[in-house]
Structure 1
Amino acid sequence: MGGDGIASFLDGIESQDADYSYIPSLSDELVLLILARLPPSLHQTLRLINKHYHALSRSRELYNIRQEVGIREPSVFMLVSGEPCWWALDPLLGSHRNLPELPSDHCFASGDKESLCTGTQLLVSGKEIEGLVIWRYELAANRWFRGPSMIKPRCLFASANCGAVACIAGGIVIGQNVEVLDSAEKYDPARRMWEPLPTMNRRRKLCSGCYMDNKFYVIGGVDESNRDLTCGEFYDAERDVWILIPDMMNGAPCSTSRSPPLVAVANNELYSLDATSNQLKVYLKGRNSWRELGNVPVKADHSRGWGVAFKSLGDELLLIGLAKDPSVGHGMMICTCWHDTQTNALHWRKLGSNGNHMSPFVFNCSVMAARS
């Protein structure tokens, strides 16, 4: 039975308190091995079989097994305009589910937020009435938890999932005066702790982050004098220093009315989406320059780059936004792209569209590799 068949069958089960005699008795070890090989989007439904399966599907051991056997099906977490809850998209099955309601105050719910994934946690940063906070969604528990707070809480920062940790850098602190930061931190999901990183070469806000060549890159942004930054820099963990890359954005304007640079990494190559021309570009590392690859099927220029999700999805790029296709109307387009570096051809795969039934404006989007 395929993934869709399992989901359809289990959707009809109403109570996790029921025990069904036709389910054969399996050892916990074997059940965990089976669950580990199923997409995370099915785990929520499998918990309805009985209480014991529910406990096993929430165990830390399940995600340890997924890591050991190298299973990394990603999950995409999104918050879309007009929707009260976050939802998780399974790119393999093309299905999505709502996350539990985030138990924040009304200030956090209605304000700007930033998100990143690391391990099996989704971190959402925003402002509550009492100040900046982080809410943490844990996949195994299917619950939201408060904290932990950054060492220096901030907004408009760069972030990236960097293997076993997540890194953030730059941004602003709002007090009596707005301070543009050059500080950086890393988050260890196993210990649920933030640790400081060395100071960057430049203060920057509205910047973007990515993970390439096993290094955390921070690109573009605006400095403390509101001047556009075309440089980038990366953190060299072995030397514990930041290395500056002059003119990494090649003089491309990135004024404060536009979104931070839309960048993503696939197959260890860096890509950018130009929010003025809808052009996809690839970074030529040896030349410190960019090559145009072609147009994308969404209107990234509709709101000057805001409301568009452009993310790393393993060997592919994930793109979500207002569809160019007239048949979709004014709805959302969800697609992936694989770049053949030998021929420079772009191979697009449409995952779905929501017609006019859902706003195409994406407030937040983050990808979880579903490994511990």
Structure 2
Amino acid sequence: MFDGRSCVVPGLFSSSCQAENKWSFMTFLPELDIRNGKRHRDFDGDNEPQPRKVNKRVDSCHQGETRNLFQQHMCHADDSVVPKMDQDQRKGCELLRNCQRVEKAETSSVQLLDEWEQLKAGDSLVSCDLQTSKQQQDHSGDSSDSGVQQFVEQQVELAENSLEESEQQEHHAGDSSDSGSLLPRMNRDSSIACLGRCSRSDYSSLASLNRSFRNIIRSGELYRWRRLNGIVEHWIYFSCTLLEWEAYDPIREQWMHLPRMASNECFMCSDKESLAVGTELLVFGRGLSSHVIYRYSLLTNSWTSGMRMNAPRCLFGSASLGEIAILAGGCDSDGYILDSAELYNSENQTWELLPSMNKPRKMCSGVFMDGKFYVIGGIGGSDSKLLTCGEEYNLQTRTWTEIPNMSPGRSTRGSEMPATAEAPPLVAVVNNELYAADYVDMEVKKYDKDRKLWFTIGRLPERAVSMNGWGLAFRACGNRLIVIGGPRTHGGEGFIELNSWVPSEGPPQWNLLARKRSGHFVYNCAVMGC
């Protein structure tokens, strides 16, 4: 697991850092007749709950229906009295309760983390803060203690009063789920600030609660807030099977399958490039009659097609920086090598032609470093020779500058291969430093920007197998470099392994993040940070 987690203040949001949680919340308790030891009413399977009073509260989990309940801290209760909710809804309610607690606490994250650790350790089974009192009661015995029962009775009364007020508001203002407010007793900006700090792995749970949360997530507003405030989580997307993609969350250590792409046979057999920009994953290839772009949206968890560049191309170099990306070089549908470049903005899905490079090139690589875009290596010229130079694009001056010897080059063992047989340069940038993977000598190299030369700093993972560089992914993932590849057997069986190394911690020491069985190499790979 990543040591430097990119989720901010994990102690504030227990659900973002705990795989399982045995605690139950007072948010659910008014739906129960705990005094009689049984449920007030039952849910009807996976359908909308039928009872009038209680189930509206579970459906929305915000606004006036729960503004009293969200003020309560965590209380211990037996799982047998928790109403039937699906996993996403229960998780979403837990997240919202934690968000409201952040606004109310007005204390440091260290204090909140200490309090949460005490609760987990069982030092305080009950810690409840009512609106009319700040007294705390510690119970080390049975949860059926009279103090707990008295508290539950108070909560039932509070819930009924809150519900009556909510119904009066709904009578005049309509469905509260359409209101501009997201969390009770918090304005919209504060609500977004709380939700934006939740792990994006939890957004599907939040979206399952009601229309308001679903709309704010699908609109991308939360992700824009995160980008402006420097909150980023990096997920690794890669494809080992045609038309199928999966993602790996290194914080939660979870695998996720994306919906299958719908495509024609020609697209399946053509060369493809991939690029993650903003909240989108773009896959470029050739269709039956032209170049095709498939776009996966993290906001809707779906694929669409129909997007077109000004100058369609394949075999280009590309990189992204926040919500923008630059694609340079490549070749057109007739095989002509291009010197043109385009900038894509994922916020409005527009393409802008940039000034042309100094040299046409294809099968090149691209990176962003020090706020500038670099295209490295590739094949160019009438005789399709291997290029050793790179080019720097300055976004402010809109000019290209050629940089000699910027390509990491080949070892002597690979110098006799045809130029088109080798994969584009395997390069990545971490903390504005440029690194390369030498698949032949199994070495990691670093670029000296002052002297403009490459030098070896260590070894690649020994089991990172490739075929002339194809099938091996070398990417930046936050403050780490990752290598995705794996061993193969004669029967075609093998594994895909994800290895990571933090360059700031010293010479390459690769740690295995995850591995899974796969009979294929890595066809395409991209890292999405949002």
Please state which band the TM-score falls in when normalised by the shorter chain: 0.7 to 0.9
Instruction: State which of 281, 288, 293 in structure 1 corresponds to 2:445.
Output: 281
Counterpart in the other structure of 1:239: 397
- Assess if the C-alpha contact under 8 Å between 1:162 and 1:216 holds in 2: no
Counterpart in the other structure of 2:117: none
Higher relative contact order (CA 8 A, sep 6+): 1
- Relative to structure 1, the CA distance from residue 16 to residue 348 in structure 2 (aligned partners, 3 Å threshold; closer, same or farther) is farther
Instruction: State which of 294, 317, 321 in structure 1 corresponds to 2:458.
Output: 294
- Relative to structure 1, the CA distance from residue 68 to residue 250 in structure 2 (aligned partners, 3 Å threshold; closer, same or farther) is closer
How many pairs were matched up? 355
Counterpart in the other structure of 1:363: 523
Counterpart in the other structure of 2:293: 134
Instruction: State which of 251, 260, 284 in structure 2 corresponds to 1:125.
Output: 284
- Relative to structure 1, the CA distance from residue 137 to residue 16 in structure 2 (aligned partners, 3 Å threshold; closer, same or farther) is farther
What's the Cα RMSD here? 2.6
* 1:182 corresponds to 2:343: no
- Relative to structure 1, the CA distance from residue 25 to residue 163 in structure 2 (aligned partners, 3 Å threshold; closer, same or farther) is closer
Q: Which has the higher helix share?
A: 2
- Relative to structure 1, the CA distance from residue 245 to residue 68 in structure 2 (aligned partners, 3 Å threshold; closer, same or farther) is closer
Which blocks of at least 5 consecutive residues in structure 1 are unaligned?
none
Counterpart in the other structure of 1:64: 224
Q: Which has the higher strand share?
A: 1
Counterparts of 1:218 and 1:184, CA distance in 2: 10
Higher mean alpha-carbon deviation, 253-262 vs 32-41, is at 32-41
Instruction: State which of 511, 514, 527 in structure 2 corresponds to 1:349.
Output: 511
- The one-letter code of the counterpart of 1:243 is T
* 1:16-55 pair list within 5 angstroms: 21=57, 24-26=61-63, 27-28=181-182, 29=188, 32-55=192-215
Counterparts of 1:144 and 1:194, CA distance in 2: 19
- State the shift of 1:35 in Å: 3.5
User: Secondary structure, in 3 states, of the residue corresponding to 2:202?
Assistant: helix
- State the shift of 1:31 in Å: 5.5
Counterpart in the other structure of 2:273: 114
- The one-letter code of the counterpart of 1:3 is S
- Assess if the C-alpha contact under 8 Å between 1:318 and 1:337 holds in 2: yes
User: Secondary structure, in 3 states, of the residue corresponding to 1:44?
Assistant: helix
Cα deviation 1:197-222 (Å, max 9, x = unaligned): 11111111111000011111011111
Larger Rg: 2
Cα deviation 1:133-170 (Å, max 9, x = unaligned): 11111211222222421111111100000344100111
Counterparts of 2:47 and 2:479, CA distance in 1: 37
Cα deviation 1:83-109 (Å, max 9, x = unaligned): 652112212111121112223223223
- Assess if the C-alpha contact under 8 Å between 1:36 and 1:66 holds in 2: yes
- Relative to structure 1, the CA distance from residue 45 to residue 24 in structure 2 (aligned partners, 3 Å threshold; closer, same or farther) is closer
- State the shift of 1:291 in Å: 1.6
- State the shift of 1:21 in Å: 4.5
User: Secondary structure, in 3 states, of the residue corresponding to 1:345?
Assistant: coil
- The one-letter code of the counterpart of 2:485 is G
- Assess if the C-alpha contact under 8 Å between 1:16 and 1:51 holds in 2: no
- Assess if the C-alpha contact under 8 Å between 1:16 and 1:54 holds in 2: no
- Assess if the C-alpha contact under 8 Å between 1:132 and 1:153 holds in 2: yes
User: Secondary structure, in 3 states, of the residue corresponding to 1:92?
Assistant: coil
Instruction: State which of 152, 165, 172 in structure 1 corresponds to 2:324.
Output: 165
* 1:70-109 pair list within 5 angstroms: 70-81=230-241, 84-109=243-268
Counterparts of 1:148 and 1:272, CA distance in 2: 32
Instruction: State which of 406, 431, 439 in structure 2 corresponds to 1:267.
Output: 431
Counterparts of 2:17 and 2:307, CA distance in 1: 37
